[in-house]
């Protein structure tokens, strides 16, 4: 069994990202309406949309940008919303850098938060994408039947999250998942859901054991944690439910209950565990 890093394979294929629209971007000119456009930087390729004349703070582009990838090891995509100016330099309205996997989670549309600077400190609007990828590589796909009863595994913040069920299936050893305090979750998974953020980044894990639905929340920086799982015969676990949403808080993320259809088949209650954050 390889490491988690080894399990994230280079991307080879055609990546198509539709920049649908942005909402509430900052105003960067004193008079008149802004003329925004979007720049995407990934895999050594920089693409940009057409300028949306008078798009102002809520531009709509509905333009698809395509990336031809070959053995691409990049894991983060940089997104910028710019305003076309009369002078030689255009103004940067908002920016964000997120894992490409957060756009490849199978959802038809994905909203991503925007920030004033690359430090991701001050949120300032959001941008909507539609993404398709035809090719190979990236995160291991989530199995249709989990060998260890994993129902949902989502890593990230409330607004930027990635389905990591496939990765966790490969990380089980001796019937358990082990999260060592010396390794932050970003090191464990091999990518960072939002650079420069510690608070609010968590793993929300839901799994079946002994006929019960159990939920565990592991923060980015955590104490030594062992999650004991129950190995099942192949085909005995139904297709996993959609990934759980995360709730962003200042200290810990809360566990959101699994959909009722899953709970009713097992038990009326969910056993919840929130792992303590690692002390600095």
Residues 112 and 168 in one domain: no
* pLDDT tens for each residue of 71-130: 999 999 999 999 999 878 899 999 999 999 999 876 668 999 999 998 888 999 999 999
pTM score of the predicted model: 0.80
Please report, for the domain that includes residue 128, its CATH number.
2.60.40.150
Q: What is the pLDDT of residues 6-52, one digit of tens each?
A: 789 999 999 999 999 999 999 998 889 999 999 999 999 999 999 99
**Are residues 121 and 21 both part of a single domain?**
yes
> Reduced to 3 states, what is the DSSP secondary structure of residue 13?
strand
Who has greater pLDDT, 184 or 243? 184
Sole residue written with tokens 């539609």: 130
Look at residues 108, 138, 168 and tell me which one is the last residue of a structural domain.
Answer: 138
In this structure, the answer to whether residues 88 and 132 fall within a common structural domain is yes
Q: What is the number of helices (H) and of strands (E) in the chain?
A: 4, 15
- 167, 132: one domain: no
Higher-scoring residue by pLDDT: 167, 248: 167
Look at residue 67 and tell me whether its pLDDT is greater than 60. yes
125: phi > 0 → left, psi -120 to 50 → alpha, else beta; which? left
Both 202 and 96 in one domain: the answer is: no
Number of domains in the chain: 2
The pLDDT score that the predictor gives to residue 121 is 86
Q: Do 107 and 63 fall into the same domain?
A: yes
Calculate mean pLDDT across residues 135-153: 93
* Claim to verify: residue 230 and residue 170 sit in the same structural domain: yes
Indicate the average pLDDT of the chain.
84
Residue 145 lies in a domain: no
Same domain, yes or no, for 180 and 101? no
Q: What is the domain extent for residue 207?
A: 150-274
Domain limit, last residue, from 88, 115, 138: 138
H or E element in which residue 61 lies = strand 60-72
Q: At 170, is the pLDDT very low, low, confident or very high (cuts 50, 70, 90)?
A: very high
Both 131 and 214 in a single domain?
no
What pLDDT, on a 0 to 100 scale, did the predictor assign at position 259? 35
User: Average pLDDT for residues 154-182, to the nearest whole number?
Assistant: 94
Of 41, 253, 273, 270, nearest to 156 (Cα)? Answer: 253
In a domain, 160, yes or no: yes
Neighbours of 152 (CB within 10 A): 25
**Highest mean predicted confidence (pLDDT) among 52-61, 152-161, 245-254:** 52-61
- The backbone torsions φ and ψ at residue 263, rounded to the nearest 5 degrees and listed phi first, read -65, -40
Q: Is 161 in the same domain as 262? A: yes
Closest CA to 228 of 145, 143, 150: 150
What average pLDDT score do residues 221-243 get? 70
For 52, list phi and psi in degrees, rounded to 5: -95, 100
89 and 203 housed in the same domain:
no
Helix (H) or strand (E) holding 261, with range, is helix 260-264
Query: What pLDDT score does 258 carry?
Result: 36
Angle at the Cα of 31 from the Cα atoms of 30 and 37, rounded to 5 degrees: 80
Tell whether 127 and 50 lie within a shared domain.
Answer: yes
């Amino acid at each position: 069994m390889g490491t988690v890093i080894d399990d994230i394979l280079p991307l080879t294929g055609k990546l198509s990202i539709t920049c649908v629209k942005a909402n509430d971007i900052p105003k960067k000119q004193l008079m008149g309406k802004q003329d925004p456009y979007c720049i995407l930087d990934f895999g050594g390729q920089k693409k940009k949309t057409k300028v949306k004349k008078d798009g102002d703070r809520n531009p709509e582009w509905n333009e698809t940008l395509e990336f031809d990838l070959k053995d691409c090891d990049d894991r983060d995509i940089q997104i910028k919303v710019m305003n076309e100016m009369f002078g030689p330099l255009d103004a940067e309205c908002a920016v964000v850098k997120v894992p490409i996997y957060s756009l490849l989670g199978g959802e038809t549309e994905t909203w991503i938060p925007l920030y004033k600077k690359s430090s991701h400190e001050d949120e300032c609007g959001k941008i909507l994408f539609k993404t398709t990828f035809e090719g190979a590589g990236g995160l291991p796909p989530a199995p249709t039947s989990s060998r260890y009863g994993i129902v949902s595994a989502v890593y990230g913040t409330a607004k930027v999250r990635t389905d990591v069920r496939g990765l966790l299936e490969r990380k089980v050893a001796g019937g358990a998942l082990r999260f060592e305090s010396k390794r932050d979750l970003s090191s464990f998974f091999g990518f960072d859901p939002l650079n420069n953020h510690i608070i609010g980044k968590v793993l929300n894990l839901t799994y079946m054991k002994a006929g019960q639905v159990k939920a565990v929340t592991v923060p980015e920086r955590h104490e030594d944690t062992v999650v004991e799982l129950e190995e099942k015969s192949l085909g005995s676990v139904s297709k996993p439910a959609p990934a759980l949403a995360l709730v962003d808080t200042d200290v810990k993320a809360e566990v959101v209950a699994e959909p009722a259809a899953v709970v009713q088949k097992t038990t009326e209650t969910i056993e919840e565990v929130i792992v303590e954050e690692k002390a600095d």
